[in-house]
Amino acid sequence: MNNWLKTLIIITILISSFSYGFKANAQISLYDIEIVDMKNGHATIKWRTNDNVKSIVYYGSTADNLDKKSSNNNYTRSHQTILYNLEEDKTYYYKIELRAYDGERLEVYTRSFSTNDMIDTVAPKFLESNVVQTLGNTVALSWKANEKVYTEIHYWKQGTNENKIIVGVGGYAEYNETFVYNLDSYSQYYVKIVIKDNSGNKESKTFSVNIYEKFDINSELKLRNIEPLNSNNNLISNNKVTIKYTSNLAARSYIQYGTSPDRLGSFIYVNDQKITTDHQVTIKDLEANTTYYYNIYVYNAIYGKNIVVQGLSFTTKSKVLGVKEDAANLDSDHDQLNNAYEMAIGTNPSDPDTDNDGYRDGLEIQNGFNPLGPGKWHKKVDFIYNQARLDLATENAKAQELKNIIKKKLKYLPIKESLWPKLVNAYIYGDYPIEAIIMYIKLEGKTINPDISWSTWQYSSDYIKYMK
């Protein structure tokens, strides 16, 4: 082989080796980053790299919490991806991670961009909008949007061109409410809620309301139908309670409660702090067999009226270990008939008024009327502790359940046959805790009453004395 050919081969090998080594050691680099097309809650981010790589963009509203990501699984030098769910007038932080064929990774330091100039052409949407109440010549309104909005209220009387406007109701918020006052008596009005986002996009809802007479500004804010009272067990369990009440005027409310009437250290808003006439809240994580005291605070009603109802209480049920509450003993629709009984007689356990005649099923049966239609109720119905009697199968099952519990706790104390019906009734219908029943057996009386339910009898001197 000629010397010049040998020299050429050696040079070629050296160049190839040098070139290969340079490529293997070359570092990935990134340049030309730009944020474009920032519009309607999203933006496109573009950049270039010196080699074909895959990429992931991590982003978020703070530099130490980049909780969103957008990835591109194609190996390329020209990159772009879309960042979603961006809010206006905020600063966002992001970092880009690059991945090469050979596993090499490059993570670019965290950068930021602002959405101050983001274009918004999408109108806000109503998530809810309600005429909560018409009070004489005043209308109570509430509404909620899918984003923060400014609100205008337009209203006009039917047959007129006069358009009155209330501007800037409630400021810049997602949820809001207001009262429209001093409408003319015996007139029909149209009320329009106009919501506007920060970019001027609008949406509206219009309601028709009838005004009959003036609202008496001296009318008092009152509460009705407060439940549960101590005799009502349907809303109370061993660890939670549902408190319900109605107000004659739409208002907000909250409850303060605790285990001492002088120290109500816990607090809960009712109905997510919205104006309403039907108030309901469930308080959880309560202690079993404990009396709780509570006050109801109602506020933000028409003309700023407020009221406080004090000195209310309820007692949670005892927790019986090893006994699981049977769904058949629940009263799902709170009509004073338990589910099992309703299924036995054919009424609907989920509908308090099965025949839609305006009277609750339990009330009809107690007064001898048919809850399934017109006329009298001819089936014989027994009431124990003011509770409708269960079907026989359910009653037998609960009686056996009680017998098993007593056997575990009182192995050597025989129970008189004449005493057994009283114990079963107290357990099933009187809602007496097992502790009171055991003590009744030991003392041959005193801690249960055959006619008065435990929720009331527990405050009697006999119960308190002999349970202690």
CATH code of the domain in which 274 resides: 2.60.40
pLDDT at 149: 93
Q: Is residue 9 part of a domain?
A: no
CA nearest to 457, candidates 425, 414, 421, 416: 425
User: What tokens appear for 136 in the block?
Assistant: 């004489």
Q: Is residue 42 part of a domain?
A: yes
pLDDT at 455: 76
pLDDT at 209: 92
d(CA 146, CA 93): 24
Q: Find the largest Cα–Cα distance for the chain.
A: 126
Q: What is the residue whose two structure tokens read 């040998």?
A: 6
What is the value of pTM for the model shown? 0.54
d(CA 370, CA 357): 10
pLDDT at 150: 93
Q: Is residue 327 part of a domain?
A: no
Domain that holds residue 249: 228-306
CA 38 to chain centre: 35
Residue where a domain stops, chosen among 211, 239, 254: 211
Q: Does residue 287 sit in the same domain as residue 250?
A: yes
Reading the chain (468 residues) residue by residue, the pLDDT tens digits are 555 555 554 445 444 444 433 344 458 888 899 999 999 889 999 999 998 999 899 999 999 889 898 887 889 999 999 999 898 889 999 999 998 888 888 888 899 999 988 888 889 999 999 999 998 889 999 999 999 999 999 999 998 887 898 888 878 899 999 999 999 988 999 999 999 998 899 999 999 999 988 888 888 899 988 888 664 567 888 888 999 999 999 999 999 999 988 889 999 999 888 999 999 999 999 998 888 999 999 999 999 999 999 988 888 887 654 444 444 456 777 777 777 677 667 788 778 888 877 778 877 777 777 888 787 776 666 667 767 677 677 788 888 888 888 888 776 666 777 788 888 888 888 888 988 888 888 887 888 888 788 877 887 878 888 886
Residue where a domain stops, chosen among 306, 339, 354: 306
Q: Does residue 206 sit in the same domain as residue 274?
A: no
Q: Is residue 390 part of a domain?
A: yes
Summarised one tens digit per residue, pLDDT across range 142-160 is: 999 999 999 999 999 998 8
Q: Is residue 121 part of a domain?
A: no
Q: Is residue 329 part of a domain?
A: no
Q: Is residue 312 part of a domain?
A: no
pLDDT at 201: 93
Q: Does residue 85 sit in the same domain as residue 145?
A: no
Other C-beta atoms lying within 10 Å of the C-beta of residue 177: 20
pLDDT at 340: 65
CATH code of the domain in which 65 resides = 2.60.40.10
Q: Does residue 393 sit in the same domain as residue 434?
A: yes
Q: What is the DSSP letter of 260?
A: B
